[in-house]
Structure 1
Amino acid sequence: MDSSVARERALDAAEELFYGRGVQAVGMDDVRSASGVSLKRLYQLFPAKERLVEAYLERRDTRWREQLAAYVEERHGARERILAVYDWLGRWFDEPGFRGCAWINAYGELGAMSTPVAERVRAHKRAFREYLDSLAAEAGLPAAVGGQLFLLAEGAMVTAGITGSVKPASEAREAARLLVRAA
């Protein structure tokens, strides 16, 4: 197995395990067992578990933002694209195995102990905020609206993760609709 295949298998296993059970509950031996990558190779690819967590969050960030943008871009009209963010969140919250926001979860587990993981989480949140800022600007809304839309989305993510309900997405969507209309 070449390094790129081993890396992808390790990341696939890490994502399933870290997201499903939590980062601290999963050891490198668990990732080895789930991936079929030897422990020696796993440590060659990721010299520390922290590096594997960073890589998992980075790869998930790329996919998450690409999927969100693809969904939103299918909508016509700037204001409709803003509301589509919350529609997409509702679809995400309804996926089997949804356990809340991977970055919030990782930050809650490791943020105080791991500067690299905290920075990876901050980079994801910063990129999401910038995306919402760009949607608000495209709609001709005041600059502050992007941050308010971000807080609505983040609140929906936390609430959905805790309650196991998709309802926070529609509630945040309605609040965003009122905010956009008022702005």
Structure 2
Amino acid sequence: MNMSTPKKRIIETASLLFHQQGYNSTGINQIISEANVAKSSFYEHFKSKDDLCIAFLNARHDYWFAELNAYCAKSKSTKKRILSAFDFIQHMNEKENFRGCSFLNTLSEISREQGAILAVIQAHKNDLRAFFEKEVGEKLLSEHIYLLFESSIIESQLFQSNELVEKAKKIVNTLI
């Protein structure tokens, strides 16, 4: 029996469903049913599906960066930390069956009117850019690595393979 709070169960269930099925393909009623909460409980915590999406993305951001930082912290040199970030993509691909980036997957499903969701997605990507800039120190090089990192996530999802992640890692190895 799940003893977590209704709000936590809602976010956990939405996270799983949004990640597996997509944002638009997941309905509130399915989330309510699978989280085993009352409809009134859902609306007590979230005014709308968009509010739930923002909570999901914020939780995903915290989880993803904690995992990335833990993965990279094992390496002592800047170069090894950057290369281990690409290993992290491969790790997440294997763990999550090449579902790609939750943020970009959601981005592809929202409309212009959903600016609050867009702002969360942009903040996540800006934090990732800042992560590489902090590691590398040089702005143009860190942007180059960021773009290779992002394209590695997308291409590995598209082709269901880590082959292009490995190629990007080799490119980064020559850049640093």
2:98, 2:161 within 8 Å by CA — same for their partners in 1?
Answer: no
| Runs ≥4 residues deviating over 3 A | none
Deviations 1:73-110 (A, max 9, x none): 11111111111111111111112433110000000101
TM score, norm. by length of structure 1: 0.91
TM score, norm. by length of structure 2: 0.94
Deviation at 1:163, TM superposition (A): 1.3
- Cross-structure match for 2:36: 36
Counterpart code for 2:55 = A
Residue 56 of structure 2 corresponds to residue 60 of structure 1: no
- Per the alignment, in what secondary structure is the counterpart of residue 109 of structure 1? coil
How large is the Cα RMSD of the aligned pairs?
1.2
Deviation at 1:37, TM superposition (A): 1.1
In 1, distance between residues paired with 2:84 and 2:50?
34
Residue 161 of structure 2 corresponds to residue 165 of structure 1: yes
In 2, distance between residues paired with 1:131 and 1:80?
14
- Per the alignment, in what secondary structure is the counterpart of residue 110 of structure 1? coil
The gaps in structure 1 that reach 5 residues or longer are none
Deviations 1:10-55 (A, max 9, x none): 0110011011001001110010011001111101101100000000
Q: 1:176 aligns with which of 141, 156, 172?
A: 172
The gaps in structure 2 that reach 5 residues or longer are none
Residue 14 of structure 2 corresponds to residue 14 of structure 1: yes
Alignment map for 1:19-168 (pairs within 5 Å):
19-137=19-137, 142-168=138-164
- Per the alignment, in what secondary structure is the counterpart of residue 94 of structure 1? helix
Counterpart code for 1:171 = K
Deviation at 1:178, TM superposition (A): 1.2
In 2, distance between residues paired with 1:29 and 1:150?
38
In 2, distance between residues paired with 1:115 and 1:63?
23
1:90, 1:167 within 8 Å by CA — same for their partners in 2?
Answer: no
In 1, distance between residues paired with 2:134 and 2:35?
38
In 2, distance between residues paired with 1:82 and 1:129?
12
Q: Percent identity?
A: 23
Deviation at 1:168, TM superposition (A): 2.2
